[in-house]
Amino acid sequence: MTRIHSRFLTPQRTASAIATLATGLAMLALAGCLRVQAHRAPAPAEPMTARPTTPLRLATYNTSLYDEATGGLIARLERGDADAGRIAAVLQRVRPDIVLLNEFDYDDGHRAAELFQRRYLELAQPGGGEPLRYPYRYLAPVNTGVPSGLDLDGNGEVGGDGRARGNDAWGYGLHPGQYGMLVLSKHPIDADAARTFQGLKWSAMPNARQPHDPATGAAHYPPSLWSQLRLSSKSHWDVPVKLPGGTLHVLAAHPTPPVFDGPEDRNGARNADEIRLWREYIDGSDAPWLCDDAGRCGGLGADARFVIVGDLNNDPSDGDGDHGAILELLEHPRVARMPTPRSDGAVAAAARYRNISRHGAPAHATGDYGERVGTLRLDYVLPSTGMAVRDSGVYWPQPDQPGAELVGASDHRLVWVDVEWSSDGASGR
């Protein structure tokens, strides 16, 4: 502090010195105040509120619940069907929140779906668990068994009996609705907002894989047929499911198997493009060619969350088909990275086929297709990014484990994935 010596002060200097002293004291007081503020502990931060989440088990299951006769599945379910009981028991054990059933025959009155729900899922099955109720379901017509009115197999006739009739349908089948699809959900389905692509023309897809005769290079289908062919062998569905704070788009399909054709590889090409349809759809573009059955065009919104489910009939490493088609879907930037679902039962089954060489991991297989084919990974549950994947698996116990007696109802196995849905989920388009 400045010292003031009185012997040198005049009255004027005294007044000036007093003013200077007052100013200095004020500045010191202010500096002290500033120092206190600078070292004060910060106020405690507002506690972070965790986002509410909903656990979801998502699944796909090719049930093989089809019949060669119109109304055949209804008749089987009405009189009691052992395979339907085992399928229901598997569902009761796994208890998915949302599940796609492939190869479940469609009928206009939805009678088969109602019977399966009331007489099988809602009744405790031998080897199963507690009764299982799905308040919501979605089903719609498919291309299988629907007459095209065209000679698609090139045998000189339109339609006919048995396989000839099936070959001339928009998708192979012996009656309309055979090998259909059914979505079951514990959460509300917005059926009015669902999109179906049953009628989308194959030739509408840019750079479609039009089949050609490898010997001559000629197109397998003449232009008059190629321009009318439908891409989806069953259908492709976007089924919106309402969840807390947003919508999950269930993208369901069942592409044709890439076999049962000739050197032109028409089914292999169709399988690859049916899988490609989902890649194009989740790209989030306004593709003018990608039009649903209601005439609405374009893909899924870039902020939407989804899960791709179904028997896609394509293994990433083994079997017939273009492996690149499924690999490109698995590696799409909007598809979540996750461990591949697996089971011990698949390993045990693969060990029986010593004459079949495999590149893929035996544990990843989702079905057993007999001595000629062996085990393959054909069934997929692919959540989008934006959801945390917590667990996954294939329902395929080892032969000596409880529940192993249930898996023989279908040549496919149920695949499930557990995710966490946060309530701030975007709805998208």
Angle made by CA atoms 198, 199, 201, in degrees to the nearest 5: 120
Give just the sign of the alpha carbon dihedral 67, 410, 376, 312: positive
Distance CA 165, CA 173 (A): 8
Residue 20 pLDDT: 40
Give kind and range of the element (H or E) at residue 267: helix 266-282
Angle made by CA atoms 423, 424, 429, in degrees to the nearest 5: 110
Residue-wise pLDDT tens for the chain (429 aa)? 333 333 333 334 333 433 443 444 333 333 333 333 333 334 444 454 556 899 999 999 999 999 999 999 999 999 999 999 999 999 999 999 999 999 999 999 999 999 999 999 999 999 999 999 999 999 999 999 999 999 999 999 998 889 999 999 999 999 999 999 999 999 999 999 999 999 999 999 999 999 999 999 999 999 999 999 999 999 999 999 999 999 999 999 999 999 999 999 999 999 999 999 999 999 977 899 999 999 999 999 999 999 999 999 999 999 999 999 999 999 999 999 999 999 999 999 999 999 999 999 999 999 999 999 999 999 999 999 999 999 999 999 999 999 999 999 999 999 999 999 998 654 444
Distance CA 272, CA 207 (A): 12
Are the CB atoms for 297 and 290 separated by under 8 Å?
Answer: yes
Site of tokens 């292999």: 268
First vs last Cα of the chain: how many Å apart?
A: 73
Residue 51 pLDDT: 67
Cα distances from 340 to residues 178, 197, 380, 406, 415, in angstroms, run 30, 28, 10, 23, 10
pTM of the predicted structure, to 2 decimals: 0.87
Residue 4 pLDDT: 35
Give just the sign of the alpha carbon dihedral 224, 226, 227, 229: positive
Contacts of 316 (CB under 8 A, 6+ apart): 323, 326, 327, 330, 360, 377
**CATH of region 53-142+177-422, choose from 3.60.10.10, 3.40.140.10, 3.40.30.10, 1.25.40.340:** 3.60.10.10
Residue 52 pLDDT: 81
Residue 214 pLDDT: 95
Are the CB atoms for 171 and 271 separated by under 8 Å?
Answer: no
Residue 138 pLDDT: 98
Residue 37 pLDDT: 34
Angle made by CA atoms 316, 320, 321, in degrees to the nearest 5: 65
Copy the structure tokens of residue 225: 């047929």
Distance CA 306, CA 277 (A): 15
Exposure string for 157-169, b = 16+ CB within 10 A, e = fewer: eeeeeeeebbbbb
